[in-house]
Structure formats: structure tokens, C-alpha cells
Amino acid sequence: MDDKQMARLRSVMDLKHTAVLTMELQQGVVGEGALMKALVEEVDRVGVRTTAGRLCDEARKRSIRVVHCVAENRPDGVGEIENCKVFAMNARLRRETGTTPIDQGTPGALLVPELGPQPSDVVVSRVHGLSPFTQTSLDQIFRNLDIKTLVVTGVSVNLGIFGTVMSAVDLGYNVVIVSDGVCGVPREYAEDVLKNSLSLLATIASADEAIAAWN
């Protein structure tokens, strides 16, 4: 990132109006109980959990709000739909086993240990949809806190990160994507999406660059 790009990054990173948003960094998605083993392997290769944890720690030191977005399923499956492949896979698993890796009240719904959460953090769960803004209080929380910029880390570039960024931009937020704090599968696809699509919607910065912009 050159000086001009860093200046622009700093211009949208007012500490009083910035929040870190972590996306689905929970045990049932990127931990031992996850279904998508290829995604877990990519998370480990990139070091997403470690990077996200460091980003959250640095944010807390500066009194920047940290908000964790997690996906959960009702244990009774009420309201689950099968209108797309990812939801159909989830419903099929429940029929076969009686549960899913991210059922409410199970370890899979909990954040990975690198993230805490700490007492000052906010955890927002969703039961329906693919975006953390869908039928949740996330937007209202950010507006009540006068948040203008979201620094996004987590998974996956395939769905969750893409949906989060699209929704946030539609709602008027500035978005910074932490390049070494996100991933998707296959790797080459995720890299192309970051370069050719998400870069049109958000500022792409490494964790080091994002933290430097806070100083």
C-alpha cells in the first residue's frame, strides 16, 4: 500500500466511528466440528483465526468496538428452508443425524478461542439468511454506536464475506476487508473475487496496514 492509499485508509478509520466485524469464526464453521474441511484447511493455511484474534486485540486497546457475527440453527429445525444448496445440505444433515454443527446451545455455535469474546465485545447471532444483517439487530447496533466503517475478517469469501460486504455497502457503511484475515475455497477463486469484485466495494488492506491506520 503506497502513501496515497494509506492516507485514504486513514480517512475512513476514525476510531470513534469504526468497528471490527468478525464473520462466522465459530467452532462449527472453522473448528473441529465443521463440515467444510477444505475451508478449515484454508483458514489454517492463511492463519485467519490468528490474524482475526490479533486484529481484535489491537482494536480493543484503542476502544474500537468488536462485533462477532455467528450463524446458528434452531435445534428443532423450525423455519429451516431448502431454497439453495447450502441450506439443503444443512436440512439433510438434520434429517440424517438430528442435529447440525451450529445448533444453538452447542459448542459449534461458540466463537473460536482466539476471539474471546471479551466483555466489551458484542455477539450477534442470526438464524436465517446468509448475511449477518438479515433479520438481526446488527445494523441498529452499529447506527446506535454511530459506526461508519466496518473492518471485516472471517469466512468465507465464497458466501459470508461477500454477503456481509454487499449488505454493508447497501446500508451506507464504508468497508475495509482484511486481506490476510479472510479466505475462501478454492484459494485461486477467493483471490480472484477479492481482486476483481470485492475491491470494487471495499478497501482491501492487510491486518498490519489496518492497525497502522489506527495509529
Residues 6+ apart with CB under 8 A from 177: 152, 153, 161, 165, 194, 198, 202, 203, 204, 205
* pLDDT greater at residue 93 or residue 161: 161
Q: How far apart are CA 166 and CA 169, in angstroms?
A: 5
Q: Which helix (H) or strand (E) holds 58?
A: helix 48-61
Residue 32 has pLDDT above 90, yes or no: no
Residue 67 has pLDDT above 90, yes or no: yes
* pLDDT greater at residue 53 or residue 33: 53
pLDDT band at 42 (very low <50, low <70, confident <90, very high): very high
Task: Rank 78-82, 92-96, 157-161 by mean pLDDT and report only the highest.
Answer: 157-161
All structural domains of the chain with their residue ranges: 3-214
Give the model's pLDDT for residue 89: 87
Please count the residues of the chain.
Answer: 215
Give the model's pLDDT for residue 72: 97
Give 159-202 pLDDT, tens digit per residue: 999 999 999 999 999 999 999 999 999 999 999 999 999 999 99
- Name the phi and psi angles at 65, rounded to 5: -70, 135
Give the model's pLDDT for residue 33: 82
Please name which of 214, 139, 206 lies closest in space to residue 177, comparing C-alpha atoms.
Answer: 206
Give the model's pLDDT for residue 86: 87
Quick one: average pLDDT of 139-168?
98
Superfamily for domain range 3-214: Isochorismatase-like (3.40.50.850)
* pLDDT greater at residue 169 or residue 35: 169
Give 95-136 pLDDT, tens digit per residue: 999 999 999 999 999 999 999 999 999 999 999 999 999 999
Average pLDDT over the chain, rounded to an integer = 96
